[in-house]
Structure 1
Amino acid sequence: MDAGTRNRLRARLVSLRDELLTQGSMNIPPARTDVVSTPDDDEAPLTHMTQAIASNRNRERADRLEQIRDALALVDEDPEQFGLCEVCEEPIKPRRLELMPWVVLCVACQEKHEHEHRSPGSRKHLGDFQ
């Protein structure tokens, strides 16, 4: 990868990191607003679902921030390794890096990894989204 492309991807990573940091975490609403009242039976499932969604988004946001920080560290500390698959050491396709500059696996290795860690019944493949 040439230095210009690497610098452009680094700038994109910084922009994505800053955007995630600016957004902050989602607030997780409490199940009840006061200690004395009991939750409304109709409202409880919605509150639980809202809490689960907020919690999942916060976890995904934290995971993405960590991936972006790792990618930035790689660009700064070992720029020649940035853009190479961690498993097969082949270059990751430019289009993939443009869309997700934090990725560390090429499509083939990502599919293999997902296949090994897929829950039963899941049929989606990374190649379905290219």
Structure 2
Amino acid sequence: MTQAQREKLKQKLLALHAELTGKTPARIEPNRTDDARVGGDEDEQPLNEMMQAIASNRNRNMDGVLQRVLKALGKLRDDPDSYGECEECGDEIPLGRMEAMPYVEFCVNCQGQKDAPKGGPTRRKLTDYT
């Protein structure tokens, strides 16, 4: 990776950092209010619970991405030559993947292995039981 490519990705990381730190966490409203018990629509409770779950998940995901952005910025500062290398196998991560996610830590193959189900396939064929 060239110095110009690294600088372009650093600018993307800094913009992403500014965006993530500028956002306030999604507010998670209480499940029920006193107004809902008195005459509110009880059909709203499942929707409210779903919205709480979505907001909680979004906050958790934003925190995870922010940590990865900080890690990538640290790597660019401390060891710029290793930025863009897979942390698992050491191969260079393709530039297109780096441009899409400048905080990416693994190449496609290693990420696929990390995301694969543990313990092998869980489905069985009908003939396995006879």
TM-score for the superposition, normalised by structure 2? 0.83
CA RMSD of aligned residues (A): 2.3
Residue type of the partner of 2:17? R
- 2:102 is the counterpart of 1:101: yes
What percent of counterpart residues are identical?
Answer: 39
**C-alpha displacement at 1:83, in angstroms?**
0.1
Q: Which is higher, the Rg of structure 1 or of structure 2?
A: 2
Residue type of the partner of 2:19? E
Distance 2:50 2:36 in 1: 22
Which runs of no fewer than 5 residues in structure 2 stay unpaired? 123-130
Residue type of the partner of 2:8? R
Distance 1:68 1:117 in 2: 27
Distance 2:21 2:91 in 1: 32
Aligned residues: 121
Which runs of no fewer than 5 residues in structure 1 stay unpaired? 122-130
**C-alpha displacement at 1:113, in angstroms?**
1.2
Instruction: Indicate the structure with greater helix content.
Output: 2
1:124 corresponds to: none
1:18-97 superposed matches below 5 A: 18-34=18-34, 37=37, 40-97=41-98
**C-alpha displacement at 1:21, in angstroms?**
1.4
**C-alpha displacement at 1:40, in angstroms?**
4.5
Moved more, 31-40 or 7-16: 31-40
Moved more, 40-49 or 74-83: 40-49
Question: 2:20 touches 2:62 (CA, 8 Å); kept in 1?
Answer: yes
Please give the secondary structure, in 2, of the residue aligned with 1:80.
helix
Distance 2:67 2:23 in 1: 15
1:112-127 superposed matches below 5 A: 112-117=113-118
Instruction: Describe the superposition over 1:13-70 as per-residue Cα deviations: whole angstroms up to 9, x where unpaired.
Output: 0101111111221111111334994674211101100100000000000000001001
